[in-house]
Amino acid sequence: MSEQTGIFFNEALEYSSRIDKLLASIVAAANSDGGTVCIGACDFEPKLNIQDYGEIKRHVAILFERVMPRFSPSMITFVETVKRNRPAIAVEITRGPKRPYWLVERGLSPNGVRTGKHGLNVPATPDEFAALMRETGDRFETRRSPVQALTFERASEVFDRAKAPFGAEERRAFGCYDASGSFSNLGLLLSDQAPSTIRVAIMEDGDQTVRSANLSGSIFSQLESALTAIDKRNKRFTKARYGIADAKEYRSIPVDAVQETLVNAVLHRDYDSPVPTLVRIYDDRVEVLSRGGLPDGIAPNELEIGASVPRNPNLVRVFEALHSVSASGLGMARIRRAYESTSLTPKIETTRHFFKTTLYCLFEPQIDGELRVAKFSPARFSVNNRPIR
């Protein structure tokens, strides 16, 4: 008769002879309040002719290598026992100090992260998984990434272009790894495997969506794609007075304001929420709505004087290294400065959970079909479709 594997939770016992069940029991014990797994020679396939405890312990150690991250030796106690008149090992597992633990084959996901309930080992619920992930860091960017097979081709291109290093040492200094050496969520955001965090929608009057897209890839790729989508619909103009055009080219929405708004949305959003940053592009305005209201201790009017409490300080440091932002906290002031000399003002709206910026077009149509700057001097403008070089 084949021997079986059992795990105790509150004196309840579940039997199984399958190795994957055994591994799931080990993970469930470590992710919960501990437990005991009883392992015998016939638990292995092919069945081993093992007659002593030492050989069983050796095979159990090999088995544990299939669980990530590595167990701390202090978590495991081997107790010699007997199962059906044959040697066996009772492996006592304590509550893990570096939770969550997961099955390598299933990855760091609710299905791979098991928990113990009522004598059973079961996949973690979404709430349990989120709670365990929060144990790996105080902030989203410092917690362990649910994806560990990460590459950084796009990020490396961006850093190369800025003539800034981005090797393993620099990634570690930025905080792309957690205390255990696993990739952090900051590493995930910078990687080519980053989840979609920005959604772009082309809108018509009446809030009808013409088309939309969830941007993918590294956060650098998503940011560039969002800027490109706005740029394609951000009309170009040259100023003409008395029939003579000057050399300067104008944009319907100030480019500096667009860039600053999108970078702010990327740097300061709440990445704990799966809700993407939404970029809505209308004919007369652009709206950027991101998850994450003002941080505690900051009032809306304090943004005007340069008050800044970054929600993702490590991500801010990455952009500072690329000279994309400064630590001065004057992003909102730069956005408003782009609208100087006009009667228009960017609209800033905040709630407990969201931050919305609306950038208005500086041009308004005239009866004769030409355009002029809103509330500027009555100098005429004509459309210039020549691309910017």
CATH of the domain at 87: 3.30.950
What average pLDDT does the segment 2-30 reach?
Answer: 51
Question: Structural domain tally of the chain?
Answer: 3
**Is the confidence at residue 14, as pLDDT, over 60?**
no
**pLDDT, mean of residues 129-134:** 78
Q: Kindly state whether residue 283 falls inside one of the protein's structural domains.
A: yes
Q: Could you tell me which residues are beta bridge partners of residue 120?
A: 117
Is the preceding peptide bond at 313 cis, omega within 30 degrees of 0?
Answer: no
Residue 262 has pLDDT above 90, yes or no: yes
Which residue in the block uniquely carries the two structure tokens 């981005």?
Answer: 166
> Which whole number is the average pLDDT over 234-257?
75
Whether residue 169 is contained in a domain is answered as: yes
The whole-number pLDDT of residue 377 equals 44
Distance CA 122, CA 44 (A): 22
- Domain co-membership, 238 together with 348: yes
- What is the pLDDT, as a whole number, of residue 276? 92
Q: Is residue 126 part of a domain?
A: yes
User: What pLDDT sits at residue 244?
Assistant: 61
User: Are 214 and 303 contained in the same domain?
Assistant: yes
Q: Assess whether 16 and 149 both reside in one domain.
A: no
Residue 66 pLDDT grade (very low, low, confident, very high; cuts 50, 70, 90): low
Residue 252 in any domain: the answer is: yes
pLDDT of residue 11: 27
Average pLDDT over residues 208-219: 90
pLDDT-derived band at 47 (thresholds 50, 70, 90) equals: very low
271-306 per-position pLDDT tens digit = 988 889 999 999 889 999 999 877 666 766 666 666
Mean local confidence (pLDDT), 80-102? 68
Given pLDDT bands bounded at 50, 70 and 90, which one contains residue 15? very low
| Residues 163 and 149 reside in one and the same domain | yes
What does pLDDT average to over the chain? 75
Confidence band for 100, pLDDT divided at 50, 70 and 90: confident
Residue scoring higher pLDDT (157 or 365)? 157
Backbone angles phi, psi at 207, to 5 degrees: 60, 35
Q: Is the pLDDT of residue 117 over 90?
A: no
Residue 261 lies in a domain: yes
Q: Highest mean pLDDT range out of 235-244, 344-353, 369-378?
A: 344-353
Strands 380-383 and 120-123: unpaired
Statement to judge: residues 325 and 364 lie in one domain: yes
- How much of the chain exceeds pLDDT 70, in percent? 65
CATH number of domain containing 329: 3.30.565.60
CB-based contacts of 288, cutoff 8 Å, min separation 6:
261, 262, 265, 277, 278, 279, 280, 356, 357, 358, 359
**Residue-range definition of the domain harbouring residue 40:** 5-134
pLDDT over 60 (residue 360) = yes
The pLDDT, as a whole number, for residue 240 is 62
Residue 107 has pLDDT above 90, yes or no: no
- On whether both 272 and 183 belong to a single domain, the answer is no
Give me the helices (H) in the chain, please. 19-31, 53-64, 126-134, 153-161, 168-174, 185-190, 219-233, 255-268, 313-321, 331-337
Instruction: Tell me whether residue 83 is in a domain.
Output: yes
Q: Are 76 and 106 found together in one domain?
A: yes
In sequence order, which residues have a C-beta less than 8 Å from that of residue 346 and are 6 or more positions away?
A: 257, 261, 335, 336, 338, 339, 357, 358, 359, 360
Report residue 345 as tokens.
Answer: 């003002």
Q: Which residues contact 232 (CB under 8 A, 6 or more apart)?
A: none
Please name the residue that has the structure tokens 């004087």.
Answer: 305
Percent of the chain's residues with pLDDT above 90: 28
What was the pLDDT predicted at 151? 96
**238 and 125 together in one domain:** no
Pairing of strands 5-9, 12-16: antiparallel
- Please indicate, yes or no, if residue 389 is contained in any of the structural domains: no
Q: What is the pLDDT of residue 350?
A: 87
Considering only residues 365 and 73, tell me which one the structure prediction assigns the higher pLDDT: 365
Q: Which residues contact 129 (CB under 8 A, 6 or more apart)?
A: 100, 109, 110, 113
Q: What is the dihedral of CA 216, 221, 223, 225, to 10 degrees?
A: -80
User: Do 366 and 248 share a domain, yes or no?
Assistant: yes
pLDDT confidence tier of residue 23, bands split at 50, 70 and 90: confident
Same domain, 163 and 252: no
| Same domain, yes or no: 368 and 222 | yes
pLDDT band of residue 165 (cuts 50, 70, 90) is: very high
Q: Is the pLDDT of residue 170 over 90?
A: yes
Q: Label residue 219 exposed, middle or buried (CB < 10 Å: 0-12, 13-18, 19+).
A: buried
Whether 73 is covered by a domain: the verdict is yes
Q: Domain ends where: 148, 164, 190?
A: 190
Q: Which two tokens stand for residue 168?
A: 């393993």
* Range with lowest mean pLDDT among 211-220, 307-316, 326-335: 326-335
pTM > 0.95 = no
Based on the domain organization, do 250 and 275 belong to the same domain?
yes
